[in-house]
Amino acid sequence: MTLIPKRLIIIFVLIIAGIVLGRLAVRGFMNLLLGGTLFGGNIL
């Protein structure tokens, strides 16, 4: 019975890590496309 909550916690942590890494990957990709917006460049 104790394996189920531990497994849910691991899945939850993996989901959060995936979201964070996904957003960083998208931001890095947009940075490559838009030319340095990640490092203080302004488009708007």
Which tokens in the block code for residue 22? 């996904």
> For residue 38, what pLDDT is reported?
52
> For residue 16, what pLDDT is reported?
94
Residue type at 18? G
Give tens-digit pLDDT for 1-41: 678 889 999 999 999 999 999 998 888 777 777 766 555 55
- What is the pTM for the complete model shown? 0.53
> For residue 10, what pLDDT is reported?
94
> For residue 41, what pLDDT is reported?
53
What span, in angstroms and rounded, lies between the C-alpha atoms of 38 and 27? 7
> For residue 33, what pLDDT is reported?
74
